[in-house]
Amino acid sequence: MKRIIIATGLLAASCLSVQAGTLDTVKQRGTLVCGVSTGFAGFSTPDSQGNYKGLDVDYCRALAASVLGDPKKVRYVALTAQNRFTALQSGEIDVLYRNSTQTYLRGATLGLRQGPVNFYDGQGFVVRADAGVKDLKGLNGATVCVAQGTTHEVTLGDYGRANGIEWKPLVFDRTDTMYQTFFGGRCDAMTQDASALAGAVTTAASNPADYTVLPQTISKEPLGPFTRNGDEAWTDIIAWLHFGLIEAEELGVTAANADEMAKSSSVPGIQRLLGTSGDLGSRLGLDNKWMLQAIKAGGNYGEIFERNVGKSSPLKLDRGLNATWSKGGLMYALPFK
């Protein structure tokens, strides 16, 4: 029994050493290195000056604000579907926020941790409006553009076999090339996350009205961040950042009123969230007002959603499953207590 206790103590000490890794590295470097996509409208897209915008980008900014006190202290690394996980495994990036579906095999085999889902999606299809296709059965025998190294490629084959639909996949290693090919007329349909298809039609089609995103989806695509195994302290920060942004929406804390709420609110939940009572931030190795800084950087989850992919954005997506639990959605914050 004594030897077991000693071994356990050594293991705990070892784990503590690993846990501190990424957080210490980011603080010492003074910059967060955030892995994003090469260009998904609404999630991470660089403008003509190279400034990134999108839902995933806002999470990177919120993380930098909470850890470094400045949302601008981020270096974005644009990654393809093929190299995104390798970049995280090798330490090239600190965290992956890149339209990445969380699955059993990714969680069990990549040596990575899957964070809380920050966008619930499903695999959909886009076709030309004049093709007369109303449902997926109308795509039997169709050539379908799909990105390599994605869950979409696997699901396309699975769904076709299960439902007696024969389609001809045309596989691409880059999404921008896939978009060019589809909108150039070489494929009968293109499949991807429904949100990404809406963004592609809005930004990459010469005339968006010429295309229709079919109403059916064929999968669950829970998207969220990835971190490295053995880095539990950093993984906890990523998780609680998301829960904090949801909690802020539930409590009515916004980018505009966060400072005033921190000064004057008598609501215990708001005080704990914004660091004016309790000692929650220090438990993660952060300032107690880390969530105040994160919220000020870009707002609560609802603000981030609305600005990037919601009705105020070019994508004009409904909240749907991404609404808070109190409004019929799946977004639910673990209690800050």
Q: Which tokens belong to 273? A: 């969230």
Residue 13: pLDDT above 60? no
The pLDDT score that the predictor gives to residue 245 is 98
Q: How far apart are CA 134 and CA 129, in angstroms?
A: 9
Among 73, 120, 26, which residue's Cα sits nearest to residue 293?
73
* 225, 96 Cβ separation under 8 angstroms: yes
Query: What is the pLDDT confidence band of residue 175, given thresholds at 50, 70 and 90?
Result: confident
Instruction: Tell me how far the alpha carbon of residue 257 is from its chain's centroid.
Output: 25
pLDDT tens readout for residues 16-34: 333 459 999 999 999 999 9
Alpha carbon separation from 141 to 10, 65, 110, 149 (Å, rounded): 60, 50, 35, 23
CA distance 168 to 141: 7
Q: Tell me which of 14 and 199 has the higher pLDDT.
A: 199
Q: Half-sphere exposure of residue 19, counting CA atoms within 13 Å on the CB side?
A: 13
- Which spans in 73-135 are helix H? 84-89, 104-109
- Residue of 38 and 178 predicted with greater confidence: 178
Sign of CA dihedral 130, 133, 139, 140: negative
Mean pLDDT confidence for 216-238: 96
* DSSP E strands, 148-306: 168-172, 189-193, 211-213, 221-223, 226-228
Q: What pTM was computed for the model?
A: 0.88
pLDDT in tens, 31-42: 999 999 988 899
Model pLDDT, residue 5: 37
C-beta separation of 319 from 329 below 8 A:
yes
**48-88 pLDDT, tens digit each:** 888 999 999 999 999 999 999 999 999 999 999 889 999 99
| Band (149; pLDDT cuts 50, 70, 90) | confident
Query: Would you state the pLDDT for residue 174?
Result: 87
Using one digit for the tens of pLDDT, what is the confidence trace for 264-309? 999 999 999 999 999 999 999 999 999 999 999 999 999 999 999 9
For residue 197, pLDDT over 70 is answered with yes
Q: Above 50 in pLDDT, residue 14?
A: no
Q: Give the Cα separation of 152 and 123 in Å (integer).
A: 7
> Under 8 Å CB-to-CB from 282, ≥6 apart: which residues?
288
What pLDDT score does 9 carry?
38
Q: What is each CA distance from 244 to 33, 158, 235, 237, 280, in whole angstroms?
A: 21, 37, 14, 10, 12
Which residue(s) pair with 119 in the sheet?
A: 223
Range 157-163 average pLDDT = 95
Task: Report CA-CA distances (Å) from 246 to 84, 90, 211, 243, 250.
Answer: 26, 31, 34, 5, 6
- Tell the CATH topology of 121-221: D-Maltodextrin-Binding Protein; domain 2 (3.40.190)
pLDDT class of 8 with cuts at 50, 70, 90: very low
* Per-residue pLDDT tens over the stretch 255-272: 999 999 999 999 999 999
C-beta of residue 54 within 8 angstroms of C-beta of residue 42: yes
The three-class DSSP label of residue 333 is: coil
Segment 200-221, tens digit of pLDDT: 999 899 999 999 999 999 999 9
Helix axes 21-29, 232-251, angle to 10 degrees: 80
Where residue 3 falls among pLDDT bands split at 50, 70, 90?
very low
Domain boundary assignment for the chain: 121-221
